[in-house]
Amino acid sequence: MRSSDERASLRLALLGAAGMVMALVVAPLAVLVRDGWVPLRTADRRVVRALDLPRGWARDLALALTQLGAPVVLEVATVALAVVLVRGQRRRLALYAIVSVFGAELLSTLSKHVVARVRPCVDAAFGCPHNASFPSGHALGAAAFWTAVAVLLLPHAGRKIWALAVVVPLVVACTRVLLGVHYPSDVVAGLLMGWCWTAATTAVFATWRDERAGRDVQFDDGLA
């Protein structure tokens, strides 16, 4: 069992890692995208054109799977989850879910406004999205939501549940590129931002949990 100092160090390391990824990877990527760096822009466009799915069962499957990161779906799921947690006298966990998911959506909206990247449009027949492209809101939301869900399920499912936080967001990110509605750099940024945001909220709420509980807890206790 970790001591309180070890847990504090772990949370600090988690916050530091999230901050470093945002500062050293996401922020420079956002600058390159905003400034239209030619090598990145060219690579992004080539990948989207090469991977864009034609009409058929594969595209229908991608359209279905991409809903696992759809903002409306995640919002409804988060509110429902929060209601269940409140009814179970887990108000702190309900607040954690709300902050993790809706905070991530706010981060996505602000980032889109700052970078203001135009969406790809590989086939006008499917319709061209008009909102900003960077970062991918679906990828960011999926990373934030499914990571938060994994944290909440950690005490019951064990560490194998972390696969949920990785696989589902990656699938959603891939569908955004395959559907031709986002560039690869959009989804990479979205994934990293979503994971970093939820890592930060998890560290903060874990600190709150320890302070309120006044007892030794294991990392695998989640935020319960």
pLDDT-derived band of residue 131, with 50, 70 and 90 as boundaries?
A: confident
Average pLDDT over residues 103-116: 96
Q: Which has more confidence, 137 or 124?
A: 137
Give yes or no for a cis peptide into 135 (omega within 30° of 0).
yes
Q: Which has more confidence, 133 or 129?
A: 133
Q: Residue 112 to residues 2, 109, 131, 135: CA-CA distances in angstroms? A: 40, 5, 8, 6
pTM of the predicted model, to two decimals?
0.89
Tell me the longest C-alpha to C-alpha distance in the chain.
Answer: 60
**DSSP-based three-state secondary structure for 121:** coil
Give, for 157, the enclosing helix (H) or strand (E): helix 137-157
Percent of the chain exceeding pLDDT 70 equals 87
Question: Is residue 49's pLDDT more than 50?
Answer: yes
Give residue-wise pLDDT tens across range 148-204: 999 999 888 888 999 999 999 999 999 999 999 999 999 999 999 999 999 999 999
* Residue ranges of domains in the chain: 4-213
Average pLDDT over residues 6-15: 81
First to last CA, the chain: 16
pLDDT-derived band of residue 221, with 50, 70 and 90 as boundaries?
A: very low
Residue 102 is which amino acid? F
* The CATH number of domain 4-213 is 1.20.144: yes
Ranges of beta strands (E only) in 97-223 are none
Give the chain's length. Answer: 224
Average pLDDT over residues 92-113: 96
pLDDT-derived band of residue 216, with 50, 70 and 90 as boundaries?
A: very low
Backbone CA torsion sign across 76, 142, 132, 46: negative
Which of left, alpha, beta for 89 (phi over 0: left; psi -120 to 50: alpha)? left
Q: Which pLDDT score, from 0 to 100, does residue 3 have?
A: 56
Give residue-wise pLDDT tens across range 23-39: 999 999 999 999 999 99
